[in-house]
Structure 1
Amino acid sequence: MNHLESVKKPKISVGIIALNEEEYLPDMLSCIQAQDYPHHLIQVVLVDSSSEDATPRIMKDFAAQATDFESITLLPNPGKTLPKGFNLFLNSATGEIIVRLDAHARIPNNFLSQMVTVLHEGEDVVGGPRPTVTPKNATAWQRVLHTVEESLFGASIAKYRGESKSDANAPQYVKSVFHPGYRRSVIDKVGSFNEELTRTEDNDYSYRIRKAGYKIRFDSRIHSEQVIRPSLSAMIRQKYHNGYWIGRTLFVQPGCVEVYHLVPGAFVLAIALGIALRLRGVKLPLRLLAASYGTADLALSALSLPTLNPPTSKAAALPLIFPALHIAYGIGTWKGIVEGAYRAFRGKK
């Protein structure tokens, strides 16, 4: 008898907030349907953020067909943003454990049971590794984009982004996790998500959890995957908006912004200063920046090549993709900083 079987199983509330996710939501709902945790102890809350595709229909069909769950609640989110959707979910959740899931992701069939197991080891907030994966029938170009997303040079150094070979018996505590599971007592104490933060609401919430005295447990037994953005333009938009909200967050909750979040902004500033000096006849700073970044870019692009299996000639674009993402993120950061400073000056958040 394992540890989970020896204790009373708690009720779990699982929430998904989706906007135009008709391509990916069915897979996540299938993952929920396949959970080995008792379905009569799972409340599913599906929040539609005013989707313009088949997302609402997919949710309704799931609610009509998956009748073995404790309940399935469908909620509209006219505010559209993630934090507003999450607050709708929290207000309707009735479980002892609250779990946030991303429609753009996949979970194994033991995800919830493993989460409960770790929580029963005395934890309050838990999560685990979340590597990225390619969409179904991925093209060669999408495999290249996946290589970029899995590279530390192309994404953040947050621990949850990669695979973990850690000893499950050696607790690791981190600043944030993907697909977190919370005890209700944590939600009751920390409160709702900050609806002013459209992209960094999770950073803020994790920060507030830690400030409230709780620890966030990272455990390799709790494993999930996130599907990468399907195109370079979508990935660039994502990075730009991520950077923008980092800039805005500096004026709302600066404690949840890490140094690595600000590196692309510093890179863009260095480029701008280098160009300004170059226009005044000082060439060396821009040359040094180009040489140092270019060397790192080429070296890390080359190191990424072995992960492409089978190889593809499209990998030649790697040295161009990395700077495109860094610059998009950095420009977004500065736009967020400027707007955040202006709003602060006007007395707004």
Structure 2
Amino acid sequence: MKEYKVAIIIPTLNEERFIAKCIESVINQSFPLEEMDILVVDGGSIDKTREIVFELGRRCANIRLLDNPGRIQSIAFNIGVHNSIAPYVIRLDAHAIYDKRYIELCVQHLSAHADYGNVGGVWNIQSQNSSCQAEANAILNKVPFGIGGAAFRVGTKAQFVDTVPFGAFPRRVLEKVGGMREDLPRGEDNEFNSRIRKFGYKIYLDPNIVCTYYARATIKESVRQMYANGKSIGVLLFVDRNSIGVRHLVPAVFVLVVVALLLVGGVYHSFWYMLTVIIGFYFVAAFVATLIACHKYGYKYIGILPILFFMVHCSYGWGTMIGTIRKNK
């Protein structure tokens, strides 16, 4: 096996719209291309993803396509780790493109600090197209009221954090803490980062490390994604409570209160007044958040954002409740 300095692991499943741009952004990094082992780990794509990767592999010998029979991303990551001996491992997402110094800065931080177990940066979130739904979904991911205030979404300063997206890891840390849990189809990164912290390593966010991430194109896709993400939080309550924060549980509390008041209100109608007040307060907050967002991004979203906020919050909260009840992974 050829010795590279960095293993780049990119899980894929039907990513024909994004994979070429993603890999091109890796090829064009400031970090030397010849020192990168680029592993695309595919979960059985039925579109042109594999064909595109094969074509890029003809141009660049260090691009490899590996099969992922388990399909999910945690298994893809572990397959990539086992198929490379590079001392640094970076897990990238096919749904994004990466600034020129992304890999260089990640490696610099890891090589300079032995106590860093994971290094990453911030998202520059963009819409997939110019439709109102796609652009509203991008805004949803940028504002704290939308999908929380995680530092990688809204952070502007270097800091130690609980998690970063698309992180970089020293192999010696992976060998110590183990691989990602293959029984978690989602939320595996939360649990993995929690385990890294438990072993005494720090997770560092550098705002100079930037990727452009493409938000979902439609409201339906966002709602489906948020339900699945919420469900993973419910499961993580039983796997590792330290891997989730209070902000992850707020939507579930909101949905639980709404459902409870609806049911109790069927017997004691006065509870429906309480429900009306709570929903009223929610939409006041949603409208204020919408006005703030529209002041920055444009007022054409003033009608869609409150609805989008409500739908993704409810789907995420409901997903968390289902994950908690079923406890299935």
TM-score range, shorter chain: over 0.9
Q: Secondary structure at the match of 1:45?
A: strand
- Is residue 323 from structure 1 mapped to residue 314 from structure 2 by the alignment? no
Structure 1 CA distance for aligned equivalents of residues 119 and 92 of structure 2: 13
Question: How is 1:160-175 mapped onto 2 (pairs within 5 angstroms)?
Answer: 160-164=152-156, 166=157, 172-175=159-162
Out of 102, 111, 126, the residue aligned to residue 120 of structure 1 is 111
Are 2:15 and 2:49, in contact at CA under 8 Å, matched by a contact in 1? yes
Matched residue, 2:69: 78
Distance in 1 separating the partners of 2:127 and 2:97: 11
- Of the three residues 280, 287, 298, the one matched with 1:298 is 287
Whether the 8 Å CA contact 1:131–1:162 is kept in 2: the answer is no
Alignment partners' CA distance in 1, 2:290 and 2:264: 29
- Matched residue, 2:43: 49
Match of 2:85 in 1: 94
> Post-superposition shift, 1:215?
0.7
Counterpart of 1:43 in structure 2: which amino acid?
Answer: D
Q: CA deviation at 1:287?
A: 2.1
Residue identity in the other structure for 1:145: N
- Counterpart check, 1:272 vs 2:265: no
Question: What secondary structure is seen at the aligned counterpart in 1 of 2:71?
Answer: coil
- Using the TM superposition, give the Cα deviation of residue 163 of structure 1 relative to its aligned residue in structure 2, in angstroms: 4.8
Structure 1 unaligned runs (5+)? 1-9, 344-348
Q: Counterpart of 2:302 in structure 1: which amino acid?
A: A
Structure 2 unaligned blocks of 5 or more: none
Query: How far apart in 2 are the matches of 1:303 and 1:220?
Result: 23
User: Is the contact made by 1:131 and 1:160 (CA closer than 8 Å) also made in structure 2?
Assistant: no
Task: Return the match for 2:126 from 121, 128, 133.
Answer: 133
Kept in 1: contact 2:251–2:313 (CA 8 A): yes
> Which amino acid in the other structure matches residue 29 of structure 1?
I
Name the SS of the counterpart of 1:217 in structure 2: strand
Q: Look up the match of 2:194.
A: 207
2-structure distance, mates of 1:262, 1:131: 25
TM-score (norm 1): 0.88
- Distance (whole Å) between structure 2 residues aligned to residue 306 and residue 189 of structure 1: 48
TM-score, normalised to structure 2, is: 0.94
User: What is the identity, as a one-letter code, of the residue corresponding to 2:126?
Assistant: V
Q: Deviations over 1:14-70 (max 9, x none)?
A: 010011110011110110111121111111111111111111111111111123xxx
Counterparts in 2 of 1:124 and 1:317: CA distance versus 1, 3 Å: closer
Q: Is the 8 A contact 2:90 2:168 kept in 1?
A: yes
Give 3-state SS (helix, strand or coil) of 1:199's partner: coil
Distance in 2, matches of 1:317 and 1:197, equals 33
The answer on whether the counterparts of 1:143 and 1:308 sit within 8 Å (CA) in structure 2 is no
Give every structure 1 segment of 4 or more consecutive aligned residues whose post-TM-superposition deviation is greater than 4 Å. none
Q: Deviations over 1:303-330 (max 9, x none)?
A: 1112224x53x53111111100011111
8 Å Cα contact 2:30/2:101 also seen in 1: yes
Show the 5 A alignment for 1:135-150: 135=128, 137-150=129-142
Kindly provide the amino acid, as one letter, of the partner of residue 294 in structure 2.
L
Tell me whether 1:26 sits opposite 2:15 in the alignment: no
Query: Do residues 38 (structure 1) and 25 (structure 2) align?
Result: no
2: distance between equivalents of 1:208 and 1:179? 16
Counterpart-to-counterpart distance in 2, 1:284 and 1:213: 49
1:252 alignment counterpart? 239
Q: Choose which of 94, 101, 108 in structure 2 pairs with 1:103.
A: 94
Conserved in 2, the CA contact under 8 Å of 1:106 and 1:225? yes
**In percent, how many aligned pairs have the same letter?**
30
